[in-house]
Amino acid sequence: MKIKVTQIRSQIGHQEVHKRTVKALGLGRIGKSRIHDDSPAVLGMIDKVRFMVKVETVDSEDPSVK
């Protein structure tokens, strides 16, 4: 299964560990999205910055998903 992660809040004023986690997810500015596999490592990163991101499931049969 794939999940789409979108940054919805700014990193300004947050702890450095949160900023690095957002960067590791491939985000960096509000509104930017990335598609990731539903793995325990990615879910752990998302849980750490859940107040800064929005998570949606993506249909794996969608041709726009690479």
Strands annotated E in the chain: 2-7, 33-37, 53-58
User: pLDDT by residue (tens digit) across 30-40?
Assistant: 999 999 999 99
Q: Is 19 exposed, middle or buried (0-12, 13-18, 19+ CB in 10 A)?
A: middle
pLDDT surpassing 90 at residue 43: yes
pLDDT of residue 59: 81
Say which DSSP state 14 is in.
Answer: S
User: pLDDT by residue (tens digit) across 48-64?
Assistant: 999 999 999 998 665 66
Domains in the chain: boundaries: 2-58
pLDDT of residue 26: 96
- Tell me the pairing of strands 33-37 and 2-7: antiparallel
Domain spanning 2-58, CATH architecture: 2-Layer Sandwich (3.30)
Phi/psi at 27 (5° precision): -105, -175
Query: What is the average per-residue pLDDT within 22-45?
Result: 95
How much is the pTM? 0.84
